[in-house]
Amino acid sequence: GSIAIGHYAGSAITSGQKNIAIGYLAMQDLDDGDDNVMIGWNAALDAASSGFSKNTGVGSYVFMQVAAGIDAENNAAGGFGACGGVMTDVAHDNTALGYKTLNASTSAKDNVCVGSSAGLNITSGDGNIIVGKNALDVATTATKNVFIGEEAGGTLRAGIAYQGAVAIGYQAMYG
């Protein structure tokens, strides 16, 4: 069974098991995903697939725009808009904690982002550790990087695939 509390929360669950949806429209479209916990206004609103499983989200608009038929598993997001992008496929094993962390993620995986707007515009990439307010906030593609510190890697150009970079400290590798 599943538990749903809130206006239209979990209203489409038919065969999904062990889900908890708390909040206005939380997991409204999910029909058969399993083992999810979503707490917040519009949390996982568009998640509709059995591929959306074993995810935990706390905060308004977390996992807001999950595309139908995706494989997004084992993600944890906390904070307004964390992991709120249009997840399309293979977006799994991410940890996003803070306001709009990993907000544009579509197919990012195996990332750890902590801090307000950390990894804000990353759409794809894997194995990143991004810690700090606005750290690596403009880059769209990043793989196996470490950015630690407020604005570390901040304002680096979009459209460049950053790989294997290490930047530690306030505004390290800034712009």
What pLDDT does 159 receive?
73
Model-level pTM? 0.93
What pLDDT does 41 receive?
97
Q: Tell me: pLDDT of 50 over 90.
A: no
**Whether the Cβ atoms of residue 9 and residue 26 lie closer than 8 Å to each other:** yes
Cα dihedral: 104, 106, 109, 112 (round 10): 10
Q: Where are the alpha helices (DSSP H) in the chain?
A: none
Angle at 84 (CA atoms; ends 61, 70), nearest 5 degrees: 115
Summarised one tens digit per residue, pLDDT across range 104-152 is 998 999 999 999 999 999 999 899 999 999 999 999 899 999 999 999 9
What pLDDT does 70 receive?
82
What pLDDT does 85 receive?
86
* CA dist., res. 4 & res. 41, Å (int): 13
User: How high is the mean pLDDT of the chain?
Assistant: 93
